[in-house]
Amino acid sequence: MTDRSVVPVNFFEGGYLNRLSWLRSSHVFLNAIVVSPSTRWVLFKEGKPLVASNAPPLSDPIQSPDPDAPKGSRTRYLARLPTSEVRSLLGSEPFFSQGKVEGTLAESDDPVLEAARIRGPPIVFLGLHQDTTSEQALPSSDFSAKSDALAVAARIQGTAFFSLDVSDIPDDVLEVTLQETGLGKSGAKLAFTDARLAMGTYDYFDAAVVASARGLVDWNARNKFCPACGSPVYSLWAGWKLSCSSLLPWADNMGRKPCPSGRGIQNFAHPRTDAVVIVVVVNEANDKILLGRNRKWPGMFYSAMAGFIEPGESLEDAVKRELWEEAAVKVWAGSFVAQPFPANLMVGFYAIADPAIPTRTDLDNELADARWYTRDEILAVLAHPDGTKIGSRDPTKPLPKPDSSAAGALAGDDASKSNGTSDPDTPPQGPPFRLPPLSAIAGVLVSDWAFGKVVIGESRQLKKGNL
Ligand SMILES: [Zn+2]
C-alpha cells in the first residue's frame, strides 16, 4: 500500500530516484549499470521529453506514488526505453571515462577524467529507483576500479534511469530507431512533447523525473564553452559537471595561459538552479487576494506575481521587491511552499498587503493588470469547468491550434476541448477570468487559500524592516 507521506505537495517534485551522487564519478559503476537490462532511458530532443500515447498500458512496476492514481491503466506516459533499444544512439564504448583515443578507457585517476564523456550525445545518470522496502545507500567501495563491475551491477536492486539528448541525431536515424522499439512496434505514437504541454500526461513519478532530467539536459545543451577561457567543455560525472577541455592531460596548450578554472577542483562548472519567488498577496482580513495579468498571457488569465531572486537577496527580500517593483504593493508577513521546475526553484509565498492602497501597472511593462478578488469570485472560477483551463497550459505561450501538432494533440483532452475553434478571449459562457491549474504552483497557492487550507503565518524576515 502506498504511503501518503510520499505524495508530493506539488507537481514536478518528489525524490523518487536515489541520485547516488557519490557514484557519479565512478566509471566502473556507470559503465556497468548503463548496460543493465533493467536500466531505462528518457529521451529529450531540444528540451522536449519523448512521450508515448495510445500506448499499451504501462506495465512497468514503477507507478505514481499517488494512492488515488489509477494503476497500470495509463496509455499515455513518459517513454522509458531499455538500453538495448537506444544502444545505437549512444556512441562508442566506453560510455564513461573516455580516453584520448576513441574506444579506450582513460588510464588515469585524474579528477578531470572522472566518468568523463568527451564523445557521443549528452547522457545524464539520473539515479536509481529502488523498492521503498529496500531503500539503502550503496557502498561506494564496491565500485573501485579493481572491482568486478558486472558482478557489482548484478547486485544492484532497482531501475537505473538515464537521460539521453538526441537533439544532434539526424531525424531519419532517430525515427527508424524509435519505430524499432517495443513501444514503436506496439503502434504507440512517440512524440517529443513540451514538458509543460504534456503535464496532463504525467503522473507524479514522471513529472519528478522530467523536472530533474530536463534541467540537466538543458544545462548541458546550453553550456558549450568554458566561462573562464572560452575553450570547449566536456562532460564529467555522468552529466553533472562540465570541465574545460584545456585541462585534459593531452590538451595542447602551447602559447596559452593556463585556464583559471584549473585552479582548484571547486572550479568545475555545476548545474544551476535559479530561484524564483511567486507570490499570492492577501489582505489582512484574509478574504481577498491580489492577482496579476501578464501582457503575454492569453485571455483573462490571472495568476500570482513572480520574479527571480537577485544576488544578495533573501527569499523574503525578493518577495518585497517584486511586489513593490511590479505593482507598487508593500507586503509584510507570509509563509511559503516550493516547487522545482527545470532550472528554476519556484518558491511560492503568501504575503499580506493593504487593498486600500492603489496598485500600479505602469512600473513593470509586462504587467497588464493587477486586481483584488474576493474569495467568492475565486471559488466561482475554480468551480467553473473551464476556470483553470488555459489551453496551452503554458501561460507565456500563445494557445496551440487543435490538431495542429503532436504537442497540441498531446496537451490533454481538456486542452483541446477548451480551445475548440472559438476565440479563447471570449468563450461562450466562459468564466469571468481564468486561474492557473493545480499542476502549477500558482494554482496550488490560489486554491489552497480559496478553500481555507492555509494559515497566513508571520515571517520574522518579512516583518523586519520596511521598504
Ligand atoms: Zn577554460
Q: Say which residue, 113 or 6, is predicted with more confidence.
A: 113
d(CA 69, CA 53): 18
Distance 346 CA to ligand 1 centre (A): 32
- Rounded distance from Cα 262 to ligand 1 centre (Å): 7
Distance CA 279, CA 290 (A): 9
- Residue 185: per-residue pLDDT: 95
**Of 58-67, 107-116, 123-132, 337-346, which range is least confident?**
58-67
Q: What's the gap in Å between 98 CA and the centre of ligand 1?
A: 19
Strand, helix or coil for residue 246: helix
Architecture of domain 274-463: Alpha-Beta Complex (3.90)
What is the distance in A from the centroid of ligand 1 to the CA of 390? 45
- CA–centroid distance, 267 to ligand 1, in Å, is 10
Name the pLDDT band for 5 (thresholds 50, 70, 90): very low
| d(CA 401, ligand 1 centre) in Å | 45
- List CB contacts of 37: < 8 A, sequence separation 6 or more: 82, 83, 84
Ligand 1 centroid distance, CA of 123 (Å): 22
Average confidence (pLDDT) over 343-368: 85
What spacing in Å lies between the alpha carbon of 261 and ligand 1's midpoint? 6
Cα(264) to ligand 1 centroid in Å equals 13
Instruction: List, for residues 254-266, the tens digit of each pLDDT value.
Output: 999 999 888 876 5
Distance of CA 159 from the midpoint of ligand 1 (Å)? 36
C-alpha of residue 265 to centroid of ligand 1, in Å: 13
Q: Which positions ≥6 away from 273 have C-beta within 8 Å?
A: 215, 340, 343, 344, 345
281 in Cβ contact with 353 (< 8 Å):
yes
- The candidate with the shortest Cα–Cα distance to 23, out of 166, 164, 152, 207, is 152
Whether 195 contacts 213, CB under 8 Å: no
Interval 400-430: pLDDT, tens: 333 333 222 222 233 333 333 344 554 457 8
Q: What is the rounded CA–CA span in Å between residue 364 and residue 38?
A: 51
> If you write DSSP's letter for every residue of 441-461 in order, what string do you get?
HHHHHHHHHHTT-------HH
288 and 355 in contact (C-beta within 8 Å)? Answer: yes
Classify residue 4 by burial, with Cβ atoms within 10 Å: 0-12, 13-18, 19+. Answer: exposed
What's the chain's length in residues?
467
Position with higher pLDDT, 343 vs 320:
320
Question: What SS3 state is found at 420?
Answer: coil
Average confidence (pLDDT) over 14-31: 84
Beta bridge partners of 48: 45
Residues of the chain within CATH 3.90.79.10 domain(s) are 274-463
Average pLDDT of the chain to the nearest whole number: 80
Q: Which of 117-131, 143-157, 284-298 has the lowest mean pLDDT?
A: 143-157
The CA 233 to ligand 1 mean position distance, Å, reads 8
Measured in Å, residue 244 CA sits from the centre of ligand 1 at: 4
Distance from the CA of 82 to the center of ligand 1, in angstroms? Answer: 36
Show Cβ contacts of residue 198 under 8 Å, excluding neighbours closer than 6 positions.
49, 51, 407, 410, 411
Cα of 166 vs centre of ligand 1, distance in Å, is: 26
Nearest to 120 by CA among 162, 156, 161, 148: 162
Q: Compute the distance from residue 84 Cα to the ligand 1 centre, in Å.
A: 36
Q: In angstroms, rounded to a whole number, what is the distance separating the alpha carbons of residues 156 and 158?
A: 6
What is the DSSP secondary structure assignment for residue 28, as one 8-state letter? H
Kindly indicate the confidence band of residue 138, based on its pLDDT and cuts at 50, 70 and 90. low
| Residue of 303, 279, 443 lying closest to 351 (CA atoms) | 279
Cell of 374: 474576493
Quote the ligand 1 centre to 232 CA distance (angstroms): 8
Distance 225 CA to ligand 1 centre (A): 8
Instruction: Determine the distance separating the centroid of ligand 1 and the alpha carbon of 237, expressed in angstroms.
Output: 18
Quote the ligand 1 centre to 257 CA distance (angstroms). Answer: 10
Q: Ligand 1 centroid to 247 CA: how many Å?
A: 7
When pLDDT is averaged across residues 345-361 and rounded to a whole number, the result is 88
Rounded to the nearest angstrom, the distance between the alpha carbon of 384 and the centre of ligand 1 is: 56
Separation of CA 464 and ligand 1 centre (Å): 43
Percentage of the chain exceeding pLDDT 90:
42
What are φ and ψ of residue 380, in 5° steps?
-65, -40
pLDDT at residue 466, rounded to an integer: 38
Cβ 69 vs Cβ 202: under 8 Å: no
- What is the CA(412)–ligand 1 centre distance, in A? 45
Please give the residue that has the higher pLDDT: either 250 or 6.
250
- pLDDT at 291 exceeding the cut of 90: yes
89 pLDDT above the threshold of 50: yes
- Residue 165 · residue 50 · CB < 8 Å: no
Give me the DSSP letters along 67-84: TTSPSS--SSEE--EEHH
Task: Tell me the CA–centroid distance for residue 248 and ligand 1, in Å.
Answer: 10
In terms of phi and psi (left: phi > 0; alpha: psi -120 to 50; beta: otherwise), the region of 182 is alpha
Ligand 1 centroid to Cα of residue 266, in Å, is 13
- Highest mean pLDDT of the ranges 56-60, 138-142, 458-462: 56-60
Taking the C-alpha atoms of residue 183 and residue 401, their distance in angstroms, rounded to an integer, is: 27
- Cα dihedral sign for 315, 317, 318, 320? positive
